Amino acid sequence: MNWMWFLAFIILIAICGALRHVVLRGRPKETTGHNPTFVQFQRKYFIAYFLALASDWLQGPYLYKLYYHYGFLEPQIAVLYVCGFASSVVLGTATSTMANHYGRKKLCITFSIVYSISCLTKLSRNYGLLILGRILGGMSTSLLFTAYEAWYIHEHVESNDFPKEWVSITFSKATFWNGVLAIVAGVVSWLFAELLDLGPVSPFMIAIPLLLTSGAVIASSWDENTGSKKVKISKSCMEGLRHIVNSRRMLLIGIMQSLFESVMFIFIFIWTPVLDVQPYPPLGIIFSSFMACIMIGSYLFEILSREPFRIPAYTIVNGSILLGLIAISACVCSTKSYHDYRAVSYMSFLLLEVACGLYFPSMGFLRGRILPEAHRAGIMNWFRVPLNLIACILLMVLHGDSSSTGTQHMFIICSLLLALALFCGIRFANMVKDDENLKVETLDAGNKTENGSVEAVVVR
């Protein structure tokens, strides 16, 4: 059956290429951002950032497999994942303040060192050391998706005085190459872990030189920058909570995000044990297929949000939640027997990743239009709290044993969570249906969401 995984991957890559051709043909020709100084500055950022991203993606396909290879049971592996999720959200609330106080360049260098240590812990079979590695990994992921972009935006606007409109050019390129790196990383990890038979720890070892090179590039070529204001975490969070309480729109956005993304966190944990049964599949190729599906979803978002469709972002969000609900509901039936229904589970997972590709840019657009810029960090911190609580509680409670029954129950709960998210999405759509600011997307709306990067929550 192994050839079917490769065939599916090739088909998905072909669909990606076709959709990209359609998207590029419909985009207006880029007439800005060709300044040689800007291009050189952009390249300096990309070298360090892409090395960091590649190292991160390499660790996605074989994390669960590594823990299982070391002989840990599913409940023990669930604890390891929970530790990573928890450390990421705890540090995420403090990242902005740390960047302002200590400097963004220092945090990016710290990321490369801490993440390298996290990778080195994967060589040990000691459970306590592996927990420490997961905590360090969660901290590092939080830094990756905050400190790098914060450094770039400050240097772009404050230090170099480039036009603000050019920020979206950089993030658009970063989004595309991030997706490409994720796909390539899955193939490379499969090549070393399975084809060369170096084991599931090999992708983590390959990531270390990439991380150290990224840190060296930053140390030698980046300038330091810090925030002009020292904002206390408590004040930022309280301001964010006040805005959420006073706005039904923000409250519904927060509920939708927490419910949908908590399901994605659970998927990060569960996809490997569902699919990795005899005959064992190529996990790296499956991972790359997931990444291709995310790119397909993001291209579909851009196509649907412009002429002739001009579908509002909130409608696309609801469509993505519905698509995810269908995919997870199918998994409820397929997990009765991992072996007999594995193909159904796989197709459902691909559909779920397409839903993610639709969800993240459309939700990012809505957050960008509804959440006030000055208080966005504090508001997002509150959104992350229930997201992580839901995911951690479900992983701890429903995986008291390693049977397929626990997995099936988890998919049932996930279906209910997505159904509730869809209900909130419909309420939100009815509330904002007359708001022209949310109805019409610009031609390059897919590149102007609040976050230019592919979200790490999707697969790791």
The last residue of one of the domains, among 171, 194, 221, is: 221
**pLDDT at residue 359, as a whole number:** 95
- How many domains does the chain contain in total? 2
Same-domain pairing of 91 and 128:
yes
Do 275 and 155 fall within a single domain?
no
Instruction: Let me know if residue 20 belongs to a domain.
Output: no
Residues 6+ apart with CB under 8 A from 213: 51
pLDDT at 446: 38
Q: Are 38 and 165 in contact (CB under 8 A)?
A: no
Mark which of 197, 221, 245 sits at the end of a domain.
221
Q: CA geometry: angle at 367 spanning 363 and 372, to 5°?
A: 180
Q: Which of 177, 196, 221 is the last residue of a domain?
A: 221
Q: Are residues 236 and 183 in the same domain?
A: no
What does the block give as tokens for 179?
């997706």
My answer on whether 413 and 294 are in the same domain is yes
Q: Say yes or no: 268 and 357 in one domain.
A: yes
Considering only residues 290 and 458, tell me which one the structure prediction assigns the higher pLDDT. 290
Is residue 177 domain-shared with residue 83, that is, in the same domain?
Answer: yes
Same domain, 216 and 249: no
Residue 1 belongs to a domain: no
Question: Torsions phi, psi of 413, nearest 5?
Answer: -60, -40
Domain assignment of residue 136, yes or no: yes
Residues 74, 189 share a domain: yes
Q: Which of 299, 298, 317, 301 is nearest to 260 (CA)?
A: 317
- Reported as a pLDDT band with limits 50, 70 and 90, residue 393 is confident
Residues 297 and 339 in one domain: yes
What average pLDDT does range 39-67 have in this prediction?
95
**Confidence at residue 444, expressed as pLDDT on a 0 to 100 scale:** 44
Where do we find the tokens 């193909």?
Answer: 343
Does 313 lie in the same domain as 449? yes
Q: Report pLDDT digits (tens) over 259-301.
A: 999 999 899 999 999 998 888 899 999 999 999 999 999 999 9
- Tokens standing for 162? 């480039």
Q: Are residues 410 and 292 in the same domain?
A: yes
**Distance set, CA 99 to CA 102, 228, 230 (Å):** 6, 11, 10
Please write the tens of the pLDDT for every residue from 176-206.
Answer: 999 999 999 999 999 999 999 999 999 999 9
Q: Is residue 22 part of a domain?
A: no
Supply the CATH number for residue 322's domain: 1.20.1250.20
Range of the structural domain that residue 414 is part of: 232-460
> 237 and 129: one domain?
no
Other CB atoms closer than 10 Å to residue 309's CB: what's the count?
10
Beta carbons of 384 and 95 less than 8 angstroms apart: no
